[in-house]
Structure 1
Amino acid sequence: MSIDDALFVDLRGVLPLDANRVNAVVKAGFGAAILNQSQLRGDPAEHRRLRLRVGLNRIIVALDTGDVQELEQAEAFGAAGVVVGAGNQRDARSLRSLSLTAAELGLSFAVIPSPDSDLEIAALTSASMSEVPLCLRTDRMLADDRQPATFRRLTPETLGLVLVTDRHVRGLQNGEQALPGLGHLPLAPLVALMARKGFVGPWVVSLGSKVGEPADAEVLGKAARLGRLALLHLLDQASTGEPALLPVRALLPPRVQAKGFEFIELAVDQRSRAEVEALLTALSFRLERQHRTATVELWRQGAINIVLNEEIEAAGARPFVCDMGLRVDDAQVSAQRAGMLGAHHHAPSRQPGRLPIPAMKDSLGTIVHFIDQKSDTHRVWDIEFAPALLGQVSPPAGLRRVDHMAQIMPDRELEGLMLYYLSTFGLTKRTQVGMKDPVGMVASQALETLEGEVRIALNGVDATHSPPPGTSVQHVAFQSDDIFETAAVLAAQAFETLPVPSDYYRELGARFDLQADRLARFERAGVLYDRDSAGGEFFQLYSLPLSSGLFFEIVERRGGYGGYGAANSPMRRMALAQSIADRPHGSA
């Protein structure tokens, strides 16, 4: 069975499969689907011609009652197979008889056990093997803390098809169904075990409980693209060392680990350039290079490269982060993999003196360029830029590298952006948390490499409070080795920190039983603090927001602290909102 034949999208519902819906799922990359019997309407021959003409080559039909007449109807509509529900009231003899009739009609056959039925319990506990192939759901298989090893006795004959569903078991979405890879279940080891046992499909992906049954073909197509991306990413994860899944590895270029942020690029105009340059100067960045042919500058401190670009045509209140560069092992392979997983290619510049650096654009319009050591992309600062005439240079403030970047988006975009980063850049996810905000609850999802070279925080909000396309980056955080030394240097340069109310420090002292002199040091520097259960410590210092709302953060991590100071988020968000409200009219 080829990969295309093995990947099914679950379209079971009440809406008939018309030309627009068929076209939407095929454009999303699916050539196979599972439908309800009731969705088969009209002339069977015309239905088959419609599907085959567009490219939906295989369908499996979920029967309503599971009688011979329904089997014959499914065969007339060109189905490749059928599934039938079964509870305790349906005996094994009738199911075997139905499976034999299906075989005579050339149809594959599988039984969907009713939840908590004897048939499902026996399969999930490996108490006995079913006499007919089953359709099992992975979230049911791994419920109640069952592990993949529980299913070592499974055989290819036991499985007819697998409905691949994930589930959140902790955090903000605890108990909710999720697309494969976005929940917390160990799906990759389970899929690898099933492949090792000889099962190579069909793998069926549900579009998720949040989506329901999209009536609009465009919405359906977008949901189907996400489902296919999630399924391919999962199979790719499971394919390591599993010969049966090697076709997946042949389909996709290998995963390329992100190694760090090479640059952060801001779109500016003449008005906003002045305020950004003033803030960068106060942060001890220096103007190091100017583009040879464009109105573009490179500002640098430590391993942090900030690019200011006046030639960005995208709409949005300046300044905003329009682009970022990620260091990878192979820029071309990274771009190819992202494209094959559904990301949008960003055409490289073809102007004289510009390097053709591979780049992609995410669903929010932010561009990601890939920088490696194999090509000339890592020499972009020498090839495209000339040294700037240095004026008065501020003393360095000890900012070493980009610690993380935070994006804000409509909550409906959160899953898609998560899958983009997880499948393309080799990031892993932390537990999603909910944070209070002046505009309501924010769903915050942190993604990061195993060693923390790249950290990205995704924040989903109500669509009415989300930024315009292309301006999703809310803030960029820089890492310091000693935040108090950094704060002292910046204070001498008239760097303005975000005001922190005294009440915060009183509550902080009580929460962590901090000594008075240490607490006073925090308050003098305007530093926020958090500590995890293992004793790891986190220190934060914020700039005032720029006129567009973009701001910078300075952080220090001690003792292996891996979080983002979520406990401080409500205070920080209120302080930012107050800072913007206190501005003189017309300055924002």
Structure 2
Amino acid sequence: MSTQAQVRTRVRTSVATVSLSGSLEEKLTAIADAGFDGFEVFEPDFVSSPLSPGELATRAGDLGLRIDLYQPFRDLDSTDDEQFARNLIRAERKFDIMAQLGCDTILVCSSPLPTAVRDDDRLAAQLHELSVRADRRGIRIAYEALAWGAHVNTYRHAWDIVARADHPALGTCLDSFHILSRGDDPSGIRDIPGDKIFFLQLADAPRLSMDVLSWSRHHRNFPGQGNFDLATFGAHVQASGYTGPWSLEVFNDVFRHSATGRTAADAHRSLLHLQEEVARVQESECDTRGLSLFAPPAPAPIDGVVSLRLAAGPRKDGELREMLRHIGFHLVGRHRQHDLQLWRHGSLTIAVDATAGTVWTAPGIPADLPALTQIGVRCADPDAWGRRAAALEMPVSEVDLPGADPAQSDVVRLRVTDATSLDLRSPSSGAGWLSAFEMYPIPVAQWRRQRALFTGVDHIALALPADSWDGVMLALRSVLGMQPHEGLDVTDAVGLMHTQALTLGDGDARLRILLNMVDGNAFGMENIPVARRGGVSHVAFSCEDIFTTATHMVAGGYEPLPISPNYYADLEARFGLHPELLDRMRTLGILYDANADGEFFHLFTRTVGADLFFEVVQRVGGYKGYGEPNAAVRLSAQLR
């Protein structure tokens, strides 16, 4: 194949069946529905399936899937000649199965056993013998270095053994986890001829301090869900000239219990996202080698959060309205057909849905629990976001509003979590929508003259159960292009909570989202403390002077959250704050943090219901955090 033809060839996508939950039959259906071109047969899945090899091959063909790899074949090499001979017989039996499957490539892993061959020439000779037998059957051997292999545990060593064996039916398999988990430099991949890379397996992973075997078996993720630099890794693979499938091999305890279809859809989206990221690296290097990569429409600029929608239900409507009034929002209108209230503060709008019988979408969450259901973000071109989301296989809803231009979507709605959507709104989207409201007879100019205490929405925190975490992370990073920051495990009043910040944009147009992992069964469970049943979903408003803002809030009926005196004594010891400043902070319930970049002042309301509260923040200098050291103090105060 010419170099020019290689460039035009698109990436073929594949996934190992071990990456999904369910029976083998269910996995194949989900893999096909997600849009994959093929799959790796994980031998334990095949062994436990009632399908014969021929039936599996027929099933795959009917679904339009190719069987790309049979794996794994373990512990081939041995210092015991009799054992090696038995291993060759075992391999021949696998070749029989592969012939019926119509699969021509088998994965052979380096051995972690004490009996593993430690002489490179002898190991190469044993692999050569296996390759001779495989070649007679039209089968290729992809040799992979396990990160915990007894002798061969790096990709460079595996490639050296393959080169020594020198057989056309023998190549290497590159696995991003085995390479990056060891901290190896993947740039050497460029020196391996692309036609000797027989297979590519991809997995992301969070940074964890644990043995690599346990890390591999339980905590791999799809690309875009962890911390590995897979974009640079992929660019090295592209430079080698590899033209085979890009396949996902992910061992993850959560995925093994998650919905098969949803996990498969996330998996395919992750490969599309990775291709876009690899293309970005290649563009920066002015490198056009390799396969033709997926290129979705680029993200469009945003202009910040301008509206929120809160589901209250009739039982919590009064409590939520009281809270909004106390922090400075004003009721400006009601929907003519629904119990939907419109609240405003400066340029910010909050719609409160108090409709009786409101059905909540997240399983197990009471319908009357106040919760954030929509985040409205202003942008010049919602359609561009709709096209990007559709290309990345994320469900998109176009919201038709009265008065909207029929040739253009005024609002494009992306489902970010099971409970919350992101609405991309054009600057004119509000005009038609407001026509459905009975606005109170107060001139708009008068509302605009009122003092605006908040300058915008600083960040939004969303509570997520563990089984939704990775999918939401991928959606935010792939479709929205949000950049993750270092995840944190925050110790609070009722345990340990994992939190992850993601950002998009700059300045006042920035969108910041905090994800907080909670017990998936926590909502509505009486035996779970209120602060852990919720108390983690909130909206943080920004301001220029938190002391002035807090004073006006108190005048409006806001009651500062009582903070322990011990906290302020600790602040004085840690930061040496002036006693007068500490007194003002104590009176208004203001918390504080500082680092080399700047200072951070913030205050919190009590929770409304079990989950929702509000925060007000003032950033001084270049402070980029969220006051994480104060999480335990805040939760303790709200719990009291």
By the TM > 0.5 criterion, same fold?
yes
Residue of 388, 399, 411 corresponding to 1:357: 411
Deviation, 1:103, is 4.7
Tell whether 2:260 aligns with 1:236: no
Specify the alignment match of 1:456 in structure 2.
513
Deviates more, 1:397-406 or 1:200-209: 200-209
Tell whether 2:412 aligns with 1:412: no
Specify the alignment match of 1:581 in structure 2.
none
Specify the alignment match of 1:163 in structure 2.
201
Over 3 Å counting, the alpha-carbon distance change for 1:37 and 1:178 in structure 2 is closer
SS at 1:511's partner residue? helix
Tell whether 2:573 aligns with 1:482: no
Deviation, 1:62, is 1.8
Deviation, 1:257, is 5.1
Residue of 2, 22, 40 corresponding to 1:34: 40
The count of residues paired between Structure 1 and Structure 2 equals 569
Q: What value does the CA root-mean-square deviation take over the aligned residues?
A: 3.6
Over 3 Å counting, the alpha-carbon distance change for 1:277 and 1:511 in structure 2 is same
Specify the alignment match of 1:308 in structure 2.
352
Over 3 Å counting, the alpha-carbon distance change for 1:435 and 1:37 in structure 2 is closer
CA distance in 2, matches of 1:276, 1:8: 48
Over 3 Å counting, the alpha-carbon distance change for 1:379 and 1:239 in structure 2 is farther
Deviation, 1:295, is 4.4
Kept after mapping to 1: 8 A contact 2:189/2:240: no
Over 3 Å counting, the alpha-carbon distance change for 1:482 and 1:170 in structure 2 is farther
SS at 2:154's partner residue? helix
Deviation, 1:577, is 1.4
CA distance in 1, matches of 2:494, 2:189: 46
1:141-192 deviations in Å (ceiling 9; x for gaps): 2345444435442331342222212233369999654332222222111112
Specify the alignment match of 2:323 in structure 1.
279
Equivalent residues in 2 for 1:132-211, closer than 5 Å: 132-169=170-207, 176-211=219-254
Deviates more, 1:123-132 or 1:396-405: 123-132
Equivalent residues in 2 for 1:510-521, closer than 5 Å: 510-521=573-584
CA distance in 1, matches of 2:297, 2:339: 36
Tell whether 2:17 aligns with 1:11: yes
CA distance in 2, matches of 1:552, 1:14: 38
Residue of 124, 129, 142 corresponding to 1:92: 124
CA distance in 2, matches of 1:156, 1:246: 11
TM-score w.r.t. length of structure 1: 0.85
CA distance in 2, matches of 1:477, 1:521: 21
Deviation, 1:120, is 4.1
Deviates more, 1:133-142 or 1:278-287: 278-287
Deviates more, 1:62-71 or 1:357-366: 62-71
1:503-557 deviations in Å (ceiling 9; x for gaps): 111122112222322222211221000112x142111111222245421100011
Kept after mapping to 1: 8 A contact 2:31/2:264: yes
Tell whether 2:622 aligns with 1:570: no
CA distance in 2, matches of 1:379, 1:352: 7
CA distance in 2, matches of 1:15, 1:349: 38
Specify the alignment match of 2:154 in structure 1.
121
Q: Which amino acid aligns with 1:554?
A: V
Kept after mapping to 2: 8 A contact 1:345/1:360: yes
SS at 1:133's partner residue? strand
Over 3 Å counting, the alpha-carbon distance change for 1:184 and 1:29 in structure 2 is same
CA distance in 1, matches of 2:578, 2:603: 20
SS at 2:307's partner residue? strand
Q: Which amino acid aligns with 1:22?
A: L
Deviation, 1:350, is 7.6
Kept after mapping to 2: 8 A contact 1:353/1:383: no
Over 3 Å counting, the alpha-carbon distance change for 1:109 and 1:473 in structure 2 is same
CA distance in 1, matches of 2:23, 2:613: 48
Specify the alignment match of 2:54 in structure 1.
45
Q: Which amino acid aligns with 1:95?
A: L
Over 3 Å counting, the alpha-carbon distance change for 1:167 and 1:353 in structure 2 is closer
Q: Which amino acid aligns with 1:68?
A: E
SS at 1:229's partner residue? helix
Tell whether 2:441 aligns with 1:389: yes
Over 3 Å counting, the alpha-carbon distance change for 1:189 and 1:45 in structure 2 is same
Over 3 Å counting, the alpha-carbon distance change for 1:189 and 1:247 in structure 2 is same
CA distance in 2, matches of 1:450, 1:515: 35
Q: Which amino acid aligns with 1:205?
A: L
Deviation, 1:125, is 10
CA distance in 2, matches of 1:420, 1:169: 20
CA distance in 2, matches of 1:15, 1:405: 32
CA distance in 2, matches of 1:397, 1:91: 74
CA distance in 2, matches of 1:364, 1:180: 21
SS at 1:465's partner residue? coil
Deviation, 1:220, is 3.3
SS at 2:514's partner residue? strand
Deviation, 1:490, is 1.6
Residue of 78, 81, 84 corresponding to 2:102: 78
Over 3 Å counting, the alpha-carbon distance change for 1:62 and 1:177 in structure 2 is closer
SS at 1:192's partner residue? helix
Over 3 Å counting, the alpha-carbon distance change for 1:48 and 1:246 in structure 2 is closer
Kept after mapping to 2: 8 A contact 1:497/1:526: yes
Kept after mapping to 2: 8 A contact 1:125/1:150: no
TM-score w.r.t. length of structure 2: 0.79
Deviates more, 1:61-70 or 1:377-386: 377-386
Deviation, 1:454, is 0.7
Over 3 Å counting, the alpha-carbon distance change for 1:366 and 1:113 in structure 2 is same
Q: Which amino acid aligns with 2:224?
A: G
Q: Which amino acid aligns with 2:58?
A: R
SS at 1:561's partner residue? coil
Deviation, 1:353, is 8.0
Over 3 Å counting, the alpha-carbon distance change for 1:143 and 1:329 in structure 2 is farther
Over 3 Å counting, the alpha-carbon distance change for 1:400 and 1:361 in structure 2 is same
Specify the alignment match of 2:64 in structure 1.
55
Deviates more, 1:145-154 or 1:421-430: 145-154
Deviation, 1:369, is 1.4
Q: Which amino acid aligns with 2:589?
A: G
Gaps of 5+ in 2: 1-5, 74-86, 361-366, 526-533
Identical aligned residues as a percent:
25
Residue of 614, 622, 627 corresponding to 1:560: 622
Over 3 Å counting, the alpha-carbon distance change for 1:121 and 1:261 in structure 2 is same
Over 3 Å counting, the alpha-carbon distance change for 1:138 and 1:341 in structure 2 is same
Deviates more, 1:256-265 or 1:488-497: 256-265
